[in-house]
Amino acid sequence: MSISSLPVATLGTPRIGPRRELKLALESFWSGKSSERALRETAVGLRAANWARQKSLGVSVIPSNDFSFYDQVLDTSVMVGAIPEVYGWKGGDVSLATYFAMARGAQGSEHDESCGHAHHAHGSSHGVPAQEMTKWFDTNYHYMVPEFSAGQIFKLSSSKAVDEYREAKALGYKTRPVLLGPVTFLRLGKSKDAALNPLSLLPVLLPVYVKVLQQLVAEGCEWVQIDEPCLVLDADRETQGALQMTYALLAEMVPGLKIMLASYFGSLGDNADTALSLPVAGLHIDLVRAPEQLDKIVSAAPKGMTLSLGAIDGRNIWRSNLSALLKRLEPAVAKLGLDRVQIAPSCSLLHVPIDLEQETSLDPDVKSWLAFSVQKIAELATLGTALAGGRDKVADALAASDAAARSRETSPKIHNADVAKRMMAIDDAMRRRQNVFTKRSGLQRARFGLPAFPTTTIGSFPQTTEVRNARAAHGKGAMSDAQYEQFLKEETARAVRWQEEIGLDVLVHGEFERNDMVQYFGEQLSGFTFTKHGWVQSYGSRYVRPPILFGDVSRPKPMTVEWWRYAQSLTQKPMKAMLTGPVTILNWSFVRDDIPRSEACRQIALAIRDEVTDLEKAGAKMIQIDEAALREGLPLRKSEWKTYLDWAVESFRICSTGVTDETQIHTHMCYSEFNDIIDAIGAMDADVISIETSRSKMELLDAFKTYKYPNEIGPGVYDIHSPRVPEVSEMAELLSLARKRLTDSQLWINPDCGLKTRKWEEVRPALVNMVAAAREMRHAS
Ligand code: GLN
Ligand code: ZN
């Protein structure tokens, strides 16, 4: 048999539009400036353009229903009618108003993003709350958590999948619709009733899926893609049983339909046998995260099963080394036969920016090493042709790929001998403080003479419209460097004065000069670059442009010292210096794939260590190193946690231990699940850690209590995700709960996180109350 290319699939593409068209349309609709019809027209245009782009680039297995106004998990909740009562849905097709109420809350108050990154579920302060939101596996994409309750029924409530299939068909595309699989959908959901196990709802859920699939078949659909990324999580019998039940039923009820069952974000591992035993026509495997599974799956796949080889990285922005890939894939294709293989990215291209060609100011070498979704699709097409025996037809593309790979391997822009030398020189002394905490704490107490229950904040103060406008004006050149600096100094001075006035014990400068806690550092470190249009969806209409870590990291010059020095010059009280930690910088960036992540992290740690040392030299006595993203970097499989935590902790220690015992190292983590990482937190050995606790009634401190955590802790007493100003008594109550779990001498008093998303009108009374609560405690004890 001779064909010109293997089938090429994308599994899904970014829906936001090359110029963020979807965001603009959504926000205009939400603010009442444009109609539902206009929004829908924009969506139709984006889908048509997406299909056309894929077709012209050589994709033969074009997806539909990968579009979403907000989130594909929310789309699934709506499809099956899992609409909590509060949204007042009366049955029938779910309206756009209900859909957006679930996404954003009914009075339109947006999800809060206090940390610049949305790891917090948050509803509107009045009206109907939004659904909870959380991270999609180990990506920085956030989905709306499905919610189930006792007596849950499901009912087909949206025709989106069928509509989009038809829409594509009318344009001449025969698509493979994408659905989130029922088992993963249930596993991602939460039940309001503790007694209800979401997976137990499977028998009542499946008839809805059957209906959707039958409707698709009636429209002429031959293949669907059903995503079950739960296949890469640690296996459990219940999930495996649920998968068996699901796919047996679908095979029986929709016999004419071919299912491409998609696993991604890791290895099938102990789920491989289950996946291979399911009665599906095809199985997609991730060969980027888990290249080692190729041989096993190829040998074990039943004769009738098509394999979709996820060969190109859907999670990162690097150009592939196509020759190397061909070498690995050719034997597999030979073994399976051309008619049993499809070629695909490791996962949907949702997680990468759209088109590299929009970047006109990147360094040309760096640019030549990158591939965004459009370039990745072209790579897939090249692979598809080469693997079908057409290497000569794509000789130019292969040669270009080889050249880029060679240049990346040797470029002095990436490889820095000094960094390599420093990496070699990391020794045990660089991984620990001079003395243990008990020794240090005595010295620090004597040095600072702080009152009991010292008060402080997490770092940032409100990023007001004026601050944002000034930054934008400066960026555009409308404000000179000197004017901008003067503006920032005034903001900082005002914030410092005010903190003194209200009687906080340890002050911060306010972070007015920072655009983002990662970008600010990335922009000053060698080895990072930034895009102009490299947006990826974080959630809903919120997109981020992650920094690109392409080379060895070093710090050409101090990054924060001058701002710290200025702020400290305004006060006698301790001014806490403020840095972002290496693990967080790493986890919120696109990271180079030519060295292990652990190594890239250590390089960043060395650069931050330099900054810490310089801050100390300049006179800083307290230095906070935020590790907001440490926990979210946990691998999907538990067996890999220890390795990750080991190097994450090591990196923190490298960056934080180059100081004397008297210098107090703070860290901050804004989340509230510590059980899994309490050992790691202990090993980080920061003198003081501030954490998020206000919404959990201090219960999470139990983890610290059980661990007998010896160092100091500031459990957040002020929920900064809400505009509400907490009363003195509420904060005092939280503190007394904290005192049940920790000793008084360990406790600090602070908000949950930085205050940059809040308004001054909210922050002022809240912090005044917080200081009052601290004073009350001091008097009472
Ligand atoms: N210092 C940062 C701030 O206050 C910390 C933010 C975070 O933890 N995400 O904004
Ligand atoms: Zn935080």
| 345, pLDDT greater than 60 | yes
Helix (H, G, I), strand (E, B) or coil at 601: helix
Q: Which of 112, 115, 755 to mutate to test the pocket of ligand 1 (most atoms within 8 A of CB)?
A: 115
Q: Measured between alpha carbons, how far is residue 575 from residues 12, 448, 507, 571 in Å?
A: 48, 11, 5, 8
Per-residue H/E/C for 381-398: HHHHHHHHHHHHHHHHHH
| Of the listed ranges 4-13, 192-201, 666-675, the one predicted with least confidence | 666-675
| 346, pLDDT greater than 50 | yes
Which is the closest atom of ligand 1 to the Cα of 669?
8
Measured from the Cβ of residue 639, the count of other Cβ atoms closer than 10 Å reads: 10
| 728, pLDDT greater than 60 | yes
What average pLDDT does this structure show over 109-137? 64
Give the Cα separation of 758 and 159 in Å (integer): 39
Task: Check pocket membership of 578 for ligand 1, CB cut-off 6 A.
Answer: yes
Among 30, 54, 24, smallest CA distance to 42 is for 24
Q: What is the pTM assigned to this prediction?
A: 0.96
Do residues 577 and 571 lie in contact, with contact meaning Cβ atoms separated by under 8 Å?
Answer: no
Q: Measured between alpha carbons, how far is residue 597 from residues 494, 550, 583, 594 in Å?
A: 41, 12, 10, 9
Length of the chain: 781
Place of tokens 């008097």: 779
Q: Which of 112, 140, 458, 580 to mutate to test the pocket of ligand 1 (most atoms within 8 A of CB)?
A: 458
- Is position 23 annotated in a ligand binding site? yes
Task: Check pocket membership of 716 for ligand 1, CB cut-off 6 A.
Answer: no
Express each pLDDT in 590-634 by its tens digit: 999 999 999 999 999 999 999 999 999 999 999 999 999 999 999
| 126, pLDDT greater than 90 | no
What's the confidence (pLDDT) of residue 125?
A: 45
Q: Which of 120, 461, 511 to mutate to test the pocket of ligand 1 (most atoms within 8 A of CB)?
A: 511
- Is position 670 annotated in a ligand binding site? yes
Domains in the chain, ordered, with CATH?
A: 60-80+132-410 (3.20.20.210), 417-461+500-780 (3.20.20.210)
Question: Phi, psi (5° rounding) for residue 346?
Answer: -60, -35
Q: Measured between alpha carbons, how far is residue 205 from residues 82, 251, 393 in Å?
A: 10, 16, 48
Q: Quote the ligand 1 centre to 125 CA distance (angstroms).
A: 22
Task: Check pocket membership of 626 for ligand 1, CB cut-off 6 A.
Answer: yes
Report which residue type is found at 253: M
Q: Quote the ligand 1 centre to 768 CA distance (angstroms).
A: 20
Task: Check pocket membership of 629 for ligand 1, CB cut-off 6 A.
Answer: no
ipTM > 0.85, yes or no: yes
What's the confidence (pLDDT) of residue 700?
A: 87
What's the confidence (pLDDT) of residue 671?
A: 76
Residue 3 pLDDT class (50, 70, 90 cuts):
confident
- Following CA atoms 352, 357, 358, 364 in sequence, which dihedral angle do they give, to the nearest 10 degrees? 100
What's the confidence (pLDDT) of residue 695?
A: 81
Give the Cα separation of 623 and 256 in Å (integer): 64
Task: Check pocket membership of 115 for ligand 1, CB cut-off 6 A.
Answer: yes
Task: Check pocket membership of 753 for ligand 1, CB cut-off 6 A.
Answer: yes
For residue 219 the two structure tokens come to: 């429209």
| 121, pLDDT greater than 70 | no
Average pLDDT over the chain, rounded to whole? 95
Neighbours of ion ligand 2 (CB under 5 A): 115, 628, 670, 753
What's the confidence (pLDDT) of residue 670?
A: 85
What's the confidence (pLDDT) of residue 583?
A: 98
DSSP code string of 698-715? TTTHHHHHHHT--SEEEE
Give the contacts of 513 (CB within 8 A, at least 6 positions apart): 488, 520, 563
User: Is position 721 annotated as part of the catalytic site?
Assistant: yes
Express each pLDDT in 317-334 by its tens digit: 999 999 999 999 999 999
Residue 646 pLDDT class (50, 70, 90 cuts):
very high
